[in-house]
A = this chain, B = another copy of it.
Amino acid sequence: SKLSHQDITTTNDQVLLLETNLDDTTGQQLAAVIKQSLEVGAKDAWAEPIVMKKGRPAYKLSLLVSPQKKELFVKFIFENTPAIGLRLQLMQREIMERRIEIAKTAYGEVRVKKLSYHGITKFSLENDDLRHCVQGTKENLEKIKYAVLQEIENNKNEGE
């Protein structure tokens, strides 16, 4: 329901985007900074190719972080890249509610991420688990997927 949903996502309603254009760092360093930013708590991190002033083939680094961690990540960028300035943007975020369930099939157990948002629902089967089942039973992937989906179907009567 909408109310319970809002309770759950309240703390995620806002994210802070940090951006900086880098024409004085290397690809090696960029990859390291993206990795490290996630280790210290960024929600997401990525790089976009851009053409900067003076015709420089460069990258824009973007971090998505909790607004409470603004100070932490501004410092993170200044300490781990040559940037001397960056831009910040508070953005709203919508996320689907997630519930993990276990589908027990004849081929093994597969985690299913059940996603919902205001009446829309979708599933996402855990890839690792599917591969496990394939390896353990030498069965066809599609067959296993189908068994998982049948299991989900059977459980539907028990409500969301």
Report A's interface with B, CB cutoff 8 A: 15, 17, 21-28, 30-31, 34-35, 38, 44-60, 64, 71, 74-75, 78-79, 82, 84-89, 91-96, 98, 113, 115, 117-118, 120, 122, 124, 140, 142-143, 145-146, 149, 153
Contacts and interface: CB of A to CB of B under 8 A. Distances in A.
Given A38-B53, A57-B59, 7 more contacts: A23-B26, A23-B27, A24-B26, A25-B26, A34-B55, A74-B117, A143-B149
Nearest to A82: B124
A93 to B, nearest CB: 5
As for how many copies of this chain the complex holds, the number is 6
A110 B115 CA distance: 30
16 contacts: A17-B87, A23-B31, A30-B56, A31-B51, A35-B53, A46-B50, A49-B49, A51-B55, A74-B94, A87-B92, A88-B92, A140-B149, A142-B146, A143-B149, A145-B146, A146-B146
Contact of A24 (B28, B35, B53, B93): B28
A48 B45 contact: no
